[in-house]
Chain A
Amino acid sequence: MAEVLVCKRGELADGAVRIVYFDKHEIAVILQDGAYYAYRNVCPHQGGPACEGIRVPRVIDVVDEHGAYHGQSYDKEQMHIVCPWHGYEFNLKTGEHPGNNRIKLKKYDIVERGGEVYVAV
């Protein structure tokens, strides 16, 4: 296993995505709300650049205890990565599709050391 340098801490702006090409790996490192996440930048759907789209919170339907619908809202605790090719969404923290957790992005570990950020490949 290798640790590949991604950036110095503070180098990337919050919300940024850096694509790291190493050997045959294409890894997207996302900085969101101060935390780094690393995923294989390939969508399990049709192979799109999964991490190069926008990020949006999960959309929820608001339904009361009587089954009545009261519009939609965002669950801001669950940020999603959105593949720009077809809109497949994946949980930022787990890499899992919100409707089928068997469909997920391959996750890599982030290692922070000495003011630098590495991805473990």
Chain B
Amino acid sequence: MGNATGFGARYRDVDLTEFDTRQALEHAANQAVERRYEDFMIVDCDSHHYETESFKEIAEYIEDPVMRHEATYQGFSGGGINIGKGNHQEMGGRIIRYRARKKEIVPPSPHRDITLMRRWMDAMGTDVACMFPTPMLNLALSPREDIETQLAWAYNRWLCERILAHDTRIRSMLYLPFHNPEECLKVVNAFAEKPGVIGFMVTSTHYRAVHDNTYAKTYRALEERGLPLAFHSASGTGSEEGLRLLNRFMGVHTMGFSWHNILHMTNWITNGMPERFPRLKTLWIESGLAWVPFVMQRLDNEWMMRNSDAPLLKRLPSDYMREMFYSTQPMEMVNNLEMLQATFKMINAETQLCYASDYPHWDMDLPSVIYDQPFLSEQAKRNILGGNAQRLFKLDTILSDVKLQRRAARGGASPPQ
């Protein structure tokens, strides 16, 4: 037995009183180097910041002075103006970045959100990320519908002015105040041309029918502008009567995030929306993937028997669904490789699936969840990790400075594809 006795070793003592994204994601950075992500573009189509951390700034954008005062005084969540059910994402402190992220030290400029975004993006090898809010995903469940409209305008203004205008690597699909169809159209017209806006987003945790005629003008406006519409799911706990039976967050998360997109997808198909808005591209976010083959099979079977229930459809429901786009996360991948491969095939993953991390949320996925799949070709991996989103959002090729430096250091590296 040898006795190196520390020679050649180095040490780092773990200190949970500090937090730094770069340290927390050091292994992600290692993966990025090992997998040579600098050889291609990675686009994250679903990532987040915490608008609550900037909520005092956002509250200043609320036009209603009474609500602005209330929002400033109460704050947003945790007993604030958006009172909702706790959702225990941090698992009783097990996911330490939830609380520890407040300790992270950033320079005075750029905006804290930009620095934090850049840090995790650089670690993971992500070049462009679509940034969404967090608690606002359940905002539509508030019985005070006027809050949604006020906050949608305030948040979108803040996001465009304070964040998107200052970093081309950060993009967003802006929040649509779905309780107010007329305001949805106004929001699209007001922000569609703003730098960094790559589409618009409906939070799936709402109870307005997506096929309602009042949204037709908004859908047409998006279609004419070539901007995609996303349905971003969430837990929805506290409002859906069935989900109220779930007493563990694991159950809430398993069911809620899938259920809301199952609901809206079913209406989207049975009401012939793909025929009514044939050029409108839809992206279904954060429901995982297992729900898609389920809905495809159910709807196909029903439609063959009940064609008159969905007479606008000219093809099987699954044919339309295969032309839609899906985000990867949280990808179900425990002992199910065969099923996962079949799912990828059913949804035309090579052209329709878009990688998403959902970072910094508890169930985030790294690019390696795609890159390490044994059944994917190199081209399929690159499509899913970036190419499909680049096509969907019409993005120019952008590589981060970190990746450009790595390419330069290697010398003679192949150009990005």
Contacts and interface: CB of A to CB of B under 8 A. Distances in A.
Q: Mostly helix, strand, loop or mixed at chain A's interface?
A: loop
Interface string A42-53: 100011110111
Please classify how large the interface on chain A is, using the bins under 10, 10 to 19, 20 to 34, 35 or more. Answer: 20 to 34
Contacts of B6: 4-5
B364 A85 contact: yes
Interface string B78-113: 000000000000011111110000000000000000
B264 to A, nearest CB: 27
B2 interface: yes
Contacts, number: 89
B26 A87 contact: no
B368 A18 contact: no
Interface stretch (B9-17, B177-185, B207-215, B235-243): B9-17
A82 B1 CA distance: 32
Contacts of B94: 53-54, 56, 82, 84, 87, 89
Please classify how large the interface on chain B is, using the bins under 10, 10 to 19, 20 to 34, 35 or more. Answer: 20 to 34
Contacts of A89: 94
Interface string B5-33: 11011111110100000001011101100
Contacts of B97: 84
Contacts of B3: 2-3
B362 A86 contact: yes
A4 B366 contact: no
Given A49-B26, A84-B94, A86-B362, A23 B8 contact: yes
A3 B91 CA distance: 37
5 contacts: A3-B1, A22-B4, A49-B27, A53-B94, A87-B95
Interface of A: 1-5, 12, 16-23, 28, 42, 46-49, 51-54, 56, 82, 84-87, 89, 118, 120-121
Interface of B: 1-6, 8-14, 16, 24, 26-28, 30-31, 91-97, 362-366, 368-369
